Structure 1
Amino acid sequence: MFHLRLLVILLLLLTPTLILLGQKSHTKYLDSLKGKSFEVLMDDFWNNFENTETAEKIAIAYNQKAKGSKNKLELVRSFDLLARIYTVEKNILFADSIIQYSSEVNSDSYPSIGYSLKGYNYYAIGDYESALDNYLKAYDSAKEKGNAYQLIEITQVIGALKNRWGNYEEALEIYKEHFDLLESLEISDGEYREDYLITLYNLSLSYQRNKKYDSSNIYIQKGIQEATEGQDTHFLSDFRHAEAVNLYLTSNYIESQRAFLKLKSNPMDPFKESITNYYLGQVAFRNNKSSLGIFYYQKVDSIFRKNNEEYPELREVYEYLVTHYRKKNSPGKELDYIRQLLIVDSSLARNREYLNQTIIRKYETPELIEDQKDLIAKLNGKNKRTSIMSYVFGICLIILIIPLVYFYRRSIKNARLFKELQTKREHHKIVTLASKASIADEIEVLIVEKLKIFEENLRFTDEDISLNKLAKEIGSNSTYVSRVINKTQGKNFSNYINDLRVEHILKRLDEEPILINYKIKALGEEVGFKNSEAFSKAFFKYTQMKPSFYLKKMREKDVADNT
């Protein structure tokens, strides 16, 4: 039930509009793409990734060009694109093609990507065993090819899958091996620092799952120290949460309760909030405060209804609520919680690890179904047949709309984020290092002043800027500069540069409408990013939305303003 940061390849599962190759418009568009280079087609694909129809045409053009040139590596890359835009079943077939043709090319990225894509798609349909099997193959391939970046990403996924679905001892071994790898890398201000903190966090949780609480606490405290020194409030919150769980699991219930209540005073993601309420409920029941325990369990239920992210202890929550309302002779609420328990059951049942004998069940699924029938009959006597039909209709309606929920929520969330960002930026002034400085040390004050000049001269848009290069420019050393940035901005050098770049391009988009028609790669290059992937990642981290969506909304706004 612990919150694991799954570093899964982020793919948008869109249902494509299938276009027959014989259609004239389709053929004409493909012909217009034939003259483009592989590099341009690749950029076009990612720039249009959210437009499924266009992305599909570009991927097909890439595939045809690769076949015509008999370039096996480009052919594999074309299958890579095709494996990201269709239904799960079709994506898996294209991923198989990646794997098949990878044996004929010399690349450190393949066939690992093919196996990772299969793993992602199997995970999407709940086939966790096949997902794990393919991620393991991806790991072996990346290890054989010496691809450190893929190893880091895939290891996190494999460990999280195993830890989440019951293979706790194996997950622990994976995280230990991965931790050793990261310890050998330079992580102080490097690209692996975030992965290092994530691994520390997951390693602490894995020790918890294996009931090695002292070992877990060692990594929790190490994580708290690292996050505190780096002034990373998000990671610090994660480690504090893991610490609160560890306190409960080691029977320090009062201290655990205090820690969870302190965490609740700050915003947290729904999954972590659900876990927090679960443990607060547990503490309440231990203190014979049944009403308070029910209150917290109902909070857990409310969060699950909104987010549908399950974890094993949810079954315990609903079992308790079912028993509680059965004793209170409240068949309506009892039936409601039985239905929720069945939803959790159906989800957990997708993975056999939770069907073993280690899970103690007070109610088996067949018994729940029978109880549900009895309760419906009981309610039928009280509320007549129409009430039951309402229940049946409601359940059918829920089943019909489930596939639409994800897309609806995403569109609503993105639109809200865009509106909030626009409102915020109307009153926003860039917070520079100088404006936040309150440092007594004369040397640090001097560094801050020079960093202000660095920002004003837009030196952060230099694509080759580095901590050492910046330190030399302002006549200091990298340790001092890094400390000043961490102290005044609460972030490391890389995030400081990336945030300045993204904020600058947002400002230019406001002031230079012509930029909204630029491609993502070109926008990134305007402010110093070397490729579109790095720009997109930094943009999303800063704004919580993809640059493609932001540009789309800006274009819509521009049209509305000029009509």
Structure 2
Amino acid sequence: MKNFFLIIFLLFSSYVFSEDTSPKNYEILRKKYSIFPEDDGRAFQYLNSYIKNAKAEKRDLELFQGYRDAVYYSKSLDKKLKYADSCLDAAYKSSNDNRIATAYVLKGSVYYANYRKYKPALDEYLMAYKYSKDTRDLYLKNKVSYHLGVVKNYLGYHEEALELFKNCVSYFEAESNDKTSHESQRFNNKKGYINSLHQMVICYMNLKDTKKTDSLIDIGLLKTFNDKDFLLERSYFLKSKGLSEYNNNKYTSAIDYLNESLGLIKDDFAWISLDYFYIGKSYLALKDEEKAISYFKKTDSIFTKHDFILPELRENYELLINHYKINKDHEKQLFYTTQLLKADSIISRDFAYLSLKIHREYDTNTLIEEKGRLETANTWGGFLIAALFISGGIIVFILNKKYKKEKDTLSKYLLLEDKMKNNSYVSSENTTTRTSPVAILASDSLDEKKTQIAAAIKRDLLRKLQSFEEKKQFTQKGLTIQKLAIQMDTNTNYLSNVINEQKGMNFNKYLGDLRIRYITRLMFEKSIYLNYTIDTLAKECGIASRQNFSDLFYEINGIRPTDFIRKRKKELENNNGGNFSPLERLHGLL
């Protein structure tokens, strides 16, 4: 009898412990850490168990959710990015396009919100768009549209961005008022609505539509009034109100609103720097130059710390330079001139499409000449000028070398373009790939000593290889000859011999050739691919390493992928009358 009860107890215990990682228990674990606020590391005492269990049981959905939550609760920016990568990996394993799109948005948001790196953020958002364009999940669709709109707004395409945000506001507002949805869904939709509203304010402000700007600011302030869940969002509308007051010459009021915004804003250094700058400009308008300069210096300190600057804050350095020039403080004049040069280089690098629109009172040549005049007024400035002259000589040499390389690159691109247009873009080593399997075998049958593989087996493999090429199965990540042989129900020797004899190259070269020609054709025919990073392009065609992709691309096409992208973009820009932008194609699709 004792043994009977012992067995029953063990069976019951086994059942209980087997349920520890059931979906219900994952939900229980998630409820335990969901009480913590964003960036609170205490959540990981439960979250680590959640992720560990999901890994052990290979539950891709739970693992995806766990890493997604880890991004939210991690305070370290580097870890946020790593968790975002892990979330993307789990999403791919689940083979669910919605999750993949969500993971790309998540990673893009880390680049945008935490690093203010717009170029990599845009790459991620474009991938999210690719995977979400056929989705029925309207929340996800609008979320992707919102983030693309943010980048468009930032690059200066305010009218295009405005259309996206109008749609987002319409959707998120309706969903936030849906009483049948879950409370958390309504919260997320309200957050989407308020943030989209703020972006519309930025659009109208840049488009100089004062009436609509002020109207939306008032709505935003009303929607966030006395709501502790939306303090950060309220700071954005207070910031916007301060800018509006400044534009209406109400400088004291502007300072009050901007200071109130600073009191609520958290770690958003981009908007903090804007607050500082316009507080400084307001004090300058009120003839309090000392206070104004102190705020301009605060704006500079953010730039120094984060290597980030909004294009409109370039004026911050013009004001500082003029101030110290008038006061004959050559050392500080030189320092802020150097800062302005650095700011210009970052603006040119990160805002290639926007920088041409920015009015430059101090262009690069003027700034370098100014450095020369400052040389006599500052001892250590002389060393800097000498370094600039040496750098200038090096630049002339590099430019000359670059010019010759550019001519060679152009001729190779034109040759490649001609092949594309004339449908002659095929493997240079593979002259037999266009021949049918039966015709090839007819020539083989004349001398059976030349082959060690039975004709029937070879014919079957050739048909499978033809299907493999037509279905683009060569884009599989981590594909080896062993894996392909298993997929084709053969062995590696048979497969290797057929590829060597009939394709004129070994397996690795054959695979690389297919992948590079496939991605090159996509880049030529679909301009959206020109906006992808080299890493993304490599993944798209199944190549794991960026360097391997670049080397293979050069070996097969005679031109580096970056050069090909640059030339193709320029060609499309010329064809479109100079109006081509990295988001031009998306404009018609969004």
TM-score normalised according to structure 2 size: 0.46
TM-score normalised according to structure 1 size: 0.48
Computing the radius of gyration from Cα coordinates, the structure with the larger value is 2
Greater relative contact order, per chain length (Cα 8 Å cut-off, separation 6+): 1
